[in-house]
Structure 1
Amino acid sequence: MRTLGVEEELLVVDPDGVPVPWGPQALEAAARWGEAETVTEHDRATRGSGPERDDDRGEGDGDDPVGHLVPELKAQQIELGTRVCRDLAGVADELRYWRGRADAAAREVGARVAALASSPVAVEPVPTPGERYADMGETFGLTAQEQLTCGCHVHVSIADEEEGVAVLNRIRVWLPVLTALTSNSPFWLGRDSGYASFRSQSWNRWPSSGPTELFADAADYARVVADLVATRTIVDTGMIYFDARLSEQWPTVEVRIADVALHVEDAVTHAGLVRGLVETAAREWRAGVPAPEVRSEVVRVAGWRAARSGLGGDLVSPVTGRPAPAADVVTALLDHVRPALADTGDDERVSAGVAAILERGSGADEQRRVHRESGDLTAVVRAAVVATHAG
C-alpha cells in the first residue's frame, strides 16, 4: 500500500477575522514545545522536513520524519505537515492534530488559524523574514509581494523516479478536476474574484508553475529541471512549481494543485483521490497503457476553467476533451480510480466525501453563502476558523 502525507498552508487571523503577520511569533511559541521549525522551504528541502516524534497518533511510519509546523512565504501564514500515513484515518488524525497545534501556537500570540486559500478581506501581505524570501520578493516583484495564498500538497510514495515520471505523465489530465473539487478561494483581498479558486490564478503567475508536457523518462524530467534552474530565472530547485512534481527529498510524487480545504474531511477526500490517481497511473504504466497525449495548452485551459467555475459549471472532461457538467466529470474521476480505492479500502470513505462536496458545494460555495447571509467578509473568515477545527 502506498503511503501518503499532506502539507497545508493556513492563514493567521486576529479575532476580528483580519489576517495578521504573527506567524513567525506563533512558530516561536510552537518551537518551545518542540513542534515547529523556523527554517525556510529551501533549508527543509536539503535536510528533511520535521522533528521526530514518538507517539501513537494515526498510522504514521515510525522511521520517517513526522509532523511539523514551519514558516511560509508570508508572515500571515503557517504551514503544517503530517507524518507519513498508511491510511486515510491516519491522515484525518494528523490533520486534526496539526491544525489544532497550529491554532494553539496562534492563540499564544492572540490569533487563530483558518483554512482559507486566499484572504477574503483586504490586507497587505508581509514577507516572512529570511534571505531566500527576500530574494524572491526582489526577483519576482508583485508576483511575490502579492502572493498570499494557501494550498494543499499531497505526497504519495513511489517505487522509484521512473515510476514517478510515468505517474506524472498519466495524472496530469485529471488534476484540473481536483482544482474544481477543492476550490476554496473565491475572494481576493476584499472583493469577489469571480473565480472559485483565485489562488490558482495568482499562483500561476510564477514562471515555473502549471502543467507540464509529457516526459520521456526520469532522465528527461531531470534535464527539464536542470534547464529551468540554468536559466537563472527561478531562485532554486525549490521553485519547481509544477502542478505535480517529484519530491526532492522523499521518494514521492507531490501533487500541488489544490486549495487548502476548509474541512478536514474534504482534505482527506482529496488525499484519497490523489493516492488513487497515483496507483491507477502506476498500474497503467506497468500494463503498457500509454499516457494520454494531451497538449499542456489544453490542460492549462482545463485548469483555468476549473478555477473559474469550480463545481458550478462545466469542466473539461479528461476523457473527451469537451465540456461536461462538473458532477459528471468528478464522477468520471471517481470511476477512474475506483479499483485502486477498493484495494486500499478507501472506496466507501472517498465516495462519501465526494458526494458530500457535490451536495453542499465546495469551500468557495460555502464562503459565498456566508457572505450572502452576512454581507461581511470578516464574518467569512470567522466562519472559516470554526470550520477549520470542526470535528
Structure 2
Amino acid sequence: MSEEHTFGVEEEFLLVDADGRPAAAAPAVLRDSPEELQPEMVTCQVESVTPVCEQADELLEHLRAQRAQLVDGARARGLRLLASGTSPVEDTARLTPGERYRRIADHFRGLMDTVNVCGCHVHVGVPDASVGVEVLNHLRPWLPVLLALSANSPFADGADTGYASWRYLSMSRWPSGGPPPYVESVAHYESLVGELAESGAVLDAANLYWDIRLSPRHPTVEVRVCDVAVTAEEAALLAVLVQGLAASARSRIAAGEAAEPVPQEVLRADLWRAARDGLGGRCADPLTRTLRPAHETLRGLFDEVRPQLRDGAKEFAEQTVGKVLADGGGAARQRAAFARRGDLSEVVAFLAGQTEP
C-alpha cells in the first residue's frame, strides 16, 4: 500500500443518558468491543479508530460500522451516542482510571475542565518525517477552513456560546493548543517539542495538542483541528479533503514550491474567526490572504484538491460538500434543532438521530 494515498480517522463521541447528560459509562459500553473502539480521557467519552484506508468508500464503510457498534453498545445500556464537539447540557466529567490520565490531571490541574470535548483527527501517510514537516507547513494555512467546515459545538453547559466551535476555544486554552509555528526542518520540529516538554507545557510528544502535528506513533501527519462530524459522511469528507491537501502539498514540494509561512499569530486569529463563525460567516482564504464568505473559501479548498482526488473520491466530495452547504454546518443544524422548541432536548435528539443507523 503506497503511503501517498493512505489515510485514517479517529472520532470521539459522548455517551449521554435519556436527559442528554453525559454518562460515565465508557467501560461498560466498550466491554468486549474490538480494539479499534477505545476509552478516552473521561468516562463519558468513547473513541473509534479506523484501519488505514486508501479509498473514500472504504473509509466511509468503516466509519459507519464503528458508529453502529458504538450506538448498539450505548443502546444496550439505555444510553445514546452523540457526535458533538461539546456536551450541549451541563455535565461533570469523571477521569478515566489510569496512571497516564492521572498524571495529566495532576500536571494540568484546572484545565481538565476542558477535556470533555470531541474531535475528529485525520491521519495522512507520509514516507518520512522530513516530508511530513513540509506537508505540515503547506497544510497550516488551510486549517481555518477545515475548522469552519467541521464546526459542531455551539452549545456548552446548557447555553449557546455564540461560537460555532466552542470545542476549539476550549482546547486552545492548553499550553500547546492552537496552530504550530512554521517549521524549518525535522530538527527544528523536534527542538520545539523538546523545549515545550522542558517547560512542562507538554509531558511528551503524545501530549502535544497542536492543530496539526507529526503523529508520535505512526508515519503520518495528523490534522487535529476539526470538531467531530455530525455524520459519518461528513467525517469521510474531512478525511478526503485533508488527503487531497496533502497530495497537493507533495506535488508542490516536488516542484520546489515552498509553503506560505503564515505567522503563527495571524493563523491563530484566523482560527478564532473560523471557530466563531463556522460556515455561516467569513473565513481567511489561504490563497488571497483575505476574509471571504466561508463557503467561497471552502470552494477554493475544493478547487485545490480536485486534481488530486481519485477512485470516486471526487464525486463523493462534490456531493457531500454540496449537501453540507445546502443544510448548513453542524453548528447551524444544532441551532436549528434548538429553535424548534427552545429546548436543548431537541438538540440531543437531533444529534443522536444522526448517529443511529
Match for 1:211: what amino acid? Answer: P
Q: 1:319 to 1:81 in 2, by over 3 A?
A: same
Match for 2:234: what amino acid? Answer: D
1:149 aligned partner: 117
CA distance in 2, matches of 1:176, 1:30: 38
1:323 aligned partner: 291
CA shift for structure 1 position 188: 0.8
| TM-score, scaled to structure 2 | 0.96
Q: 1:344 to 1:157 in 2, by over 3 A?
A: farther
Mapped pair 1:355 → 2:357:
no
Written as runs of structure 1 = structure 2, the 5 A alignment for 1:303-382 is: 303-341=271-309, 343-382=310-349
1:4 aligned partner: 7
1:66-124 CA deviation, whole Å, 9 max, x = no partner? Answer: xx111111111001101111101011110111111112222333212111110001111
Kept in 1: contact 2:211–2:223 (CA 8 A): yes
CA distance in 2, matches of 1:94, 1:225: 33
CA distance in 1, matches of 2:177, 2:145: 17
CA shift for structure 1 position 238: 1.2
Kept in 2: contact 1:18–1:381 (CA 8 A): no
1:40 aligned partner: none
1:386 aligned partner: 353
What is the DSSP-based 3-state SS (H/G/I as helix, E as strand, rest coil) of the residue aligned with 2:280? coil
Kept in 2: contact 1:7–1:154 (CA 8 A): yes
CA distance in 2, matches of 1:146, 1:314: 26
Kept in 2: contact 1:12–1:113 (CA 8 A): yes
CA distance in 2, matches of 1:234, 1:256: 16
Q: Between the two proteins, what is the percent identity of the paired residues?
A: 42
1:357-376 CA deviation, whole Å, 9 max, x = no partner? Answer: 11110011110001000221
CA distance in 1, matches of 2:86, 2:200: 29
Kept in 2: contact 1:96–1:389 (CA 8 A): no
1:59 aligned partner: none
Match for 2:26: what amino acid? Answer: G
CA shift for structure 1 position 344: 4.9
1:158 aligned partner: 126
CA distance in 2, matches of 1:26, 1:318: 42
Kept in 1: contact 2:179–2:210 (CA 8 A): yes
CA shift for structure 1 position 135: 2.0
1:274 aligned partner: 242
Kept in 2: contact 1:186–1:194 (CA 8 A): yes
2:23 aligned partner: 20
Q: Gaps (5+ residues) in structure 2?
A: none
Q: Gaps (5+ residues) in structure 1?
A: 37-67
What is the DSSP-based 3-state SS (H/G/I as helix, E as strand, rest coil) of the residue aligned with 1:258? strand
Q: Which moved more, 1:251-260 or 1:311-320?
A: 311-320
1:82 aligned partner: 50
What is the DSSP-based 3-state SS (H/G/I as helix, E as strand, rest coil) of the residue aligned with 2:63? helix
Cα RMSD of the aligned pairs, angstroms, is 1.3
